[in-house]
Amino acid sequence: MRHQHGVKRINSGGWLLMATLSMAMPVHANDGVWMMLGDGNKLESGNKPDRVMHYANAARISDRTDQSAKIAEIMRDSNPKTIDARVKALEINEMDIVEIHENPGAPGIKVVTMQFHCGRKEHRVVRAEAIERNHLHRFSDAGEWRKYVPTDWQSRAWFIACFPEVWVPLVKADQAEMKRTGKVTKQADLREYGVAMVGNWSHHDGLMQAYRFTWDKLWAADATPAPFHHNRTAAEEKEYQAWKRNDDAVIAENERNAPMLESAISGLEAQVEGQLKGMDEEKIFQDQIAANFKKHKSKYFGTFRGLTEEQLVDVRGVPTSMTTNDGLRSILYAYTTDTRHEVDIRDGEGNLVGTDIAGQLLGCSVTFKLRVGGNKPEYRVVDYVVDRDMTTQGYAHCE
């Protein structure tokens, strides 16, 4: 699977620093994990004195996909061979990116909330917050969807947001290897995707951890800009206090609304869980049907797989009989073709000496098996049985 996401390997001795830092950090799923995002064949974007480091808060990846679109795709075609890839192509995941800027005239830290469209390989900024070195906060609104360059840091962020099933096992393997041997790994597998784990930090602590790590480890030999301070002009202080009052008000409002929000979230979670359960049940149901039809190896009858009772009758017509027993419905279609006819019997000289019956009475019946399952309420075709005499002719007649 490596390299298929358009992420190329970065060669840099700086990765050893990251492996050293994370050596003793246990990883459980992606809880607390922060990842460094390379840019091209470098660790940072830009050049001195205007470099920028990018970190992904991989512990907080949120699914922003329209769940109804997922369900609609499954309902449209629940083929188990293609459904995972098709649903994956619809996913939109959200993740925070933390930027550390070298330029003293730039903000010290930027927190950029971004969404990543997994199928289209696109990204957009939902919200950006710039934290100035005097603690003033600047905000910007959402941007448009944009395609990424296959080797830039946005592409690595897209990989982290969209493919945790790829990178999380690699992080776990590195941690297990370091625990087993007591030696630092170079995170070679992760490096091939242009990323590396740098810490196991909380959401808020990660901002300053990323800042310190960048200046203490990666840019240690360079002049550090003036540290964060509270030396603001009168106008800046007024702006800061206005921001703080607004921020405090938002926090207080969130606290007041917390019980109501928790109740609403619980209801939504239950709804989503029900939808996901239905999706899982549908996949299991479709897998069972596919196994039944695979045994028969008939392309013709394979077209009836999963049809509802109404669809089956539309195609085949009124059945000969129908029975239901223990939830299994059997719909029988029986056919006969009588090709028998009287023929003359003549002797060697052409004289009529009698008559005989030529031709055959051909019979064929097909019984479709239907039951309710998955996430739909209708009876659907899950299997079939063909009974025939005069195999070749009878089978052709059944079709």
327-355 per-position pLDDT tens digit: 999 999 987 777 777 877 887 787 887 88
**In terms of domains, do 41 and 119 share one?**
yes
Task: Say if residue 249's pLDDT is above 50.
Answer: yes
Do 227 and 316 belong to one domain?
no
Q: Is 267 among the domain residues?
A: no
pLDDT at 2 exceeding the cut of 50: no
- Mean pLDDT calculated for residue range 369-394: 80
What does the mean pLDDT of the chain come to?
Answer: 82
Q: Give a yes or no: residue 118 inside a domain.
A: yes
Q: Say if residue 98 is in the same domain as residue 203.
A: yes
Last residue of a domain, one of 231, 265, 296: 231
Contact assessment for residue 130 and residue 138, using Cβ atoms and an 8 Å cutoff? yes
What is the domain extent for residue 179? 14-231
Residue 6 within a domain = no
Nearest in space to 306 (alpha carbons), one of 39, 75, 24: 75
Same domain, 92 and 204: yes
Q: Does residue 120 or residue 298 have the better pLDDT?
A: 120
Domain total for the chain?
2
Angle at 304 between CA 303 and CA 305, to 5 degrees: 95
Q: Are 148 and 121 in contact (CB under 8 A)?
A: yes
Lowest-confidence segment of 112-126, 176-190, 207-221, 344-358 by average pLDDT: 344-358
pLDDT of 27: 34
Are 315 and 176 in a shared domain?
no
On whether both 57 and 162 belong to a single domain, the answer is: yes
Q: Are residues 211 and 298 in the same domain?
A: no
Here the tokens at position 44 are 């940072």
Q: What's residue 204's pLDDT?
A: 75
Residue 165 included in any domain: yes
What confidence tens digit (pLDDT) does each residue in 128-159 have? 999 998 888 888 988 899 998 888 999 999 99
The full DSSP string for 100-149 is EE-STTS-SEEEEEEEEETTTTEEEEEEEEEE-TTS-EEEE-----EEPP
Amino acid at residue number 277: K
Q: What percent of the chain has pLDDT over 70?
A: 87
Do 92 and 121 meet the contact criterion of CB atoms below 8 Å apart?
Answer: no
45 and 107 together in one domain: yes
Asked which of 162, 196, 231 is the last residue of a domain, the reply is: 231
Decide if pLDDT at 180 tops 80.
yes
From CA 55, how far away is CA 218, in angstroms rounded?
A: 13
pLDDT value at residue 31: 64
Domain co-membership, 294 together with 191: no
Please tell me whether residues 206 and 309 are part of one structural domain: no
Looking at the fold, whether 290 and 218 belong to one and the same domain comes out as no
Give domain status of residue 243, yes or no: no
Distance CA 364, CA 393 (A): 9
Q: d(Cα 370, Cα 323) in Å, to the nearest integer?
A: 10
User: Rounded mean pLDDT of 45-72?
Assistant: 89
Q: Cβ contacts of residue 61 below 8 Å, gap of 6+? A: 30, 93, 94, 95, 160, 161, 164
For the residues 62-83, what does the mean pLDDT come to?
80
**Domain finish residue from 231, 266, 296:** 231
Strand partners, 36: 55, 196
Q: Is 200 a domain residue?
A: yes
Q: Round to whole Å and give the CA distance between 42 and 343.
A: 91
Asked if 289 and 388 sit in the same domain, the reply is yes
For residue 197, tell me if it sits in a domain: yes
d(CA 160, CA 163): 6
Question: Would 261 be classed as within a structural domain?
Answer: no
Residue 367's contacts (CB-CB under 8 Å, 6 or more residues apart) are 330, 331, 332, 333, 384, 385, 387
* Residue 243: closest CA among 86, 138, 391, 315: 138
